[in-house]
Amino acid sequence: MATLKALVVDDASFVRDLVKRTVRQRFPVIETTDAQNGRRAQSLMSRTTFDLVLCDWEMPEMSGLELLQWMRQQPHYEKVPFIMITSRGDKDHVVEAVKEGVSEYLGKPFSPEGLSKKIIKVMGRKLQDSMSRSGKSMDGPADAFKESAALLTQKREAPPAKPESPAQPAAGDNPLMAAARSNQAPASSKPSGRAPMSVAQVRFSDSTLKSVVKDINLTEVRVIAKRDQVFPGILDQAVVDMEIGNDKTARLNGYVHQLQAVDRRQDSDFVSVTVRFVDDDPQKMEDLSRFIATFRAGNR
């Protein structure tokens, strides 16, 4: 029987489900409730007392930081653990969250193990005692379905790269553009006469894929990357970083929908990765629309 309560807050239902599933499998003594934004979470927290809050940063109506600020002003929530789960991992944002009283900071995409460690760290003895009273192990019961699915979706390391001369950055290139040049798709896969593809960085829980955008719309993006990198598994979480000008980067949350060789042969040097977006944040949709407009204008 669950003895502790956790609130999961994220505008993406896909992410909320991942967090709840991890908590349910690893810590059966924790009952989870979810909210799609900070405003809804605030309403729930006013009616029910939670022992843990796991929250995204960027959400419509009320952000995770605003929820944290409100929460620390409430006497009964002043000491309750708050884990910020977000794709915003730069130092300035981490420092800002720490100043407002965040308990822990977990970057997206995250692994179940990474999330579990953060929960154990912030809840400490309270969680351990609850698990012990229920006769449960901290590792949680084995999940046969999960183990079977892992065999189908496990990450596979790419074979060693073929020897080649390192790409030389052109004048004015930033490091990401230089990396993209060395990882660009073969000429046969790009329409003749079009401008170079836009750069995208796709982050996973334990690796980063440097790639170029082949196609994009409001629901998904297809990127092409060299095979000599570490690739994710199907359904793995992903964060797609795309430059949209004025030193601003759009960060879109999603999951891997498809992996496919660019060429119809076993030794294809390039792999196509399709990531489906899961965000429901108007600001992120606006950033995505700006990137799509720039991408299409440059490839006419």
Query: So what's the pLDDT on residue 48?
Result: 93
Q: What is the pLDDT of residues 206-228, one digit of tens each?
A: 899 999 999 999 999 999 999 99
The pTM score is 0.69
Six token digits for residue 233: 């598994």
Query: So what's the pLDDT on residue 211?
Result: 92
* CATH number belonging to domain 4-142: 3.40.50.2300
Task: Look up tokens 């076993």; give the residue.
Answer: 266
CATH 3.40.50.2300 range(s) for the chain read 4-142
Query: So what's the pLDDT on residue 299?
Result: 74
Q: What is the 3-state secondary structure (H, E, C) of 190-247?
A: CCCCCCCCCEEEEECCCCEEEEEEEEECCCEEEEEEECCCEECCCCCEEEEEEECCCC
Query: So what's the pLDDT on residue 197?
Result: 55
Query: So what's the pLDDT on residue 88?
Result: 75
Q: What is the pLDDT of residues 280-298, one digit of tens each?
A: 888 889 989 989 988 888 7
Does residue 222 contact residue 216 with C-beta atoms inside 8 Å?
Answer: yes
Query: So what's the pLDDT on residue 82?
Result: 97
Query: So what's the pLDDT on residue 170?
Result: 43
**Can you say how many angstroms the Cα of residue 126 is from the centroid of all Cα atoms in its chain?**
28
Q: What is the pLDDT of residues 97-143, one digit of tens each?
A: 899 999 999 989 999 999 999 999 999 999 999 999 888 766 544 44
The CATH homologous superfamily to which domain 172-298 belongs is predicted glycosyltransferase like domains (2.40.10.220)
CATH 2.40.10.220 range(s) for the chain read 172-298
Residues of the chain with pLDDT under 70: 1-2, 89-90, 137-197
The stretches of the chain forming alpha helices (DSSP H) are: 13-26, 38-47, 64-71, 91-99, 112-133, 144-153, 175-182, 282-298
Query: So what's the pLDDT on residue 71?
Result: 96
